[in-house]
Chains A and B, each alone.
Chain A
Amino acid sequence: GEDVEQSLFLSVREGDSSVINCTYTDSSSTYLYWYKQEPGAGLQLLTYIFSNMDMKQDQRLTVLLNKKDKHLSLRIADTQTGDSAIYFCAEGSGGQNFVFGPGTRLSVLP
């Protein structure tokens, strides 16, 4: 079945860039998503990329997609303490179901 993997933890210093990586197995993935979850809250959609794109930029966020390697990354520029959260990668193949990764806990150190 489909699988999405992420590293579980990342620590960066405030002001540095963060790069969160994700790999997936479903070659028919149509959309790939990044969600942010703060403690005790729901998932907030940050950004998504269509599978025929290789990059998408939205303010401090840059998404890179390597479809050949099935690798997705999220770069957060000028990381702030408010960016501390769990970041979930998810893939969808245009049907109703998403497959979520296990989440990467980002800690931003002052």
Chain B
Amino acid sequence: DAMVIQNPRYQVTQFGKPVTLSCSQTLNHNVMYWYQQKSSQAPKLLFHYYDKDFNNEADTPDNFQSRRPNTSFCFLDIRSPGLGDAAMYLCATSRQGTEQYFGPGTRLTVT
């Protein structure tokens, strides 16, 4: 089945220790998104790739970076996680900005 896959589903990292979350898709969509979602809140867009073009939201901290080596994969790098970065991280894809399809999310815990 075509889908959006996120690994790992649960990630524990230490304060200040870099961490990478991964997302892959079999939908062949050209747009990929990373969202941060804290408890009982709406997803907050961090950045997105339109093909290879990277688009950062103005209020996304520099601590968050992303890589998209090919159409299928996209990575979220958190260079120095703080306690405030503990959240659910959601990857989504879309074709040309139409409906977005979400992965199951990675829940990040920072100790």
Contacts and interface: CB of A to CB of B under 8 A. Distances in A.
Interface residues of B, number: 25
B50 A43 contact: no
Interface stretch (B13-21, B63-71, B77-85, B96-104): B96-104
Interface string B86-100: 000010101001111
B42 interface: yes
A48 to B, nearest CB: 5
Contact of B97 (A40, A94, A100): A94
Interface string B26-39: 00000101000000
Interface in B43-80: 43, 45, 48, 50, 55
Contact of B48 (A97, A101, A102): A97
Contacts of A102: 41-42
Give the contact-size bracket for chain A: 20 to 34
Given A42-B90, A43-B90, A98 B45 contact: yes
A33 B98 CA distance: 10
B50 A96 contact: yes
B98 to A, nearest CB: 7
A95 B53 CA distance: 14
Which of A42, A45, A96, A103 is the most central at the interface, judged by chain B CB atoms within 10 Å of its CB?
A: A42
Contacts of A95: 97
Nearest to B106: A42
B100 A98 contact: yes
Contacts of A92: 97-98
Nearest to A4: B42
B50 to A, nearest CB: 6
Contacts of B97: 92, 94-96
12 contacts: A31-B98, A40-B107, A42-B4, A42-B6, A43-B102, A44-B102, A45-B99, A48-B99, A97-B48, A100-B42, A103-B40, A103-B42
